[in-house]
C-alpha cells in the first residue's frame, strides 16, 4: 500500500514538474555573487537546479548527522558477532564434554560384557 502511494505521488510530482517546465521556458539571467558574469537559464532550470542542490545538501546533512548512530550500530554488530562466536565455542565444549561423559559411561559396560 505504501509503495503504491509513493508511486502515485511520484507520478503526480513528475506531471507537475513537467507542466511547470513547459509553462516556464523563458530564460532568466542567473548570477552567482562571488563569481563574475551571469548565465542565462530557463526558469524551470533554475527551479530544478535549486531542487537538486537542496536534495544533495539535505542528504549530506542527514548522512553526517547519523555518523554516531552508524558507528554505534557497527560496534554493537561486532559485539554480537563476538558473543555468537563465544557461544558457539562454549556449546562445542559442552557437546564434547557430554560426549566424553557418555563414552566414559558406555566403555566400562562394554568392557565388562566382553
Q: Report d(CA 103, CA 90) in Å as an integer.
A: 20
Q: Could you tell me the pTM of the whole model? A: 0.59
Q: Please tell me what DSSP assigns to residue 22.
A: H
pLDDT 10s per residue in the chain (114 long)?
999 999 999 999 999 989 998 998 899 998 888 888 898 999 999 988 999 999 999 999 999 999 999 999 999 999 999 999 999 999 999 999 888 887 777 665 555 554
Three-class secondary structure of residue 27 per DSSP: strand
Amino acid at each position: 500500500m505504501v509503495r503504491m502511494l509513493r508511486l502515485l505521488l511520484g507520478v503526480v510530482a513528475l506531471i507537475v514538474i513537467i507542466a511547470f517546465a513547459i509553462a516556464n521556458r523563458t530564460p532568466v539571467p542567473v548570477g552567482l555573487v562571488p563569481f563574475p558574469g551571469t548565465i542565462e537559464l530557463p526558469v524551470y532550470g533554475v527551479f530544478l537546479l535549486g531542487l537538486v542542490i537542496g536534495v544533495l545538501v539535505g542528504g549530506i546533512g542527514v548522512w553526517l548527522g547519523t555518523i554516531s548512530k552508524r558507528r554505534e550500530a557497527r560496534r554493537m554488530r561486532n559485539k554480537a558477532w563476538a558473543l555468537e562466536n563465544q557461544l558457539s565455542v562454549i556449546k562445542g565444549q559442552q557437546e564434547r564434554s557430554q560426549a566424553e561423559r557418555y563414552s566414559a559411561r558406555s566403555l566400562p559396560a562394554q568392557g565388562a560384557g566382553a
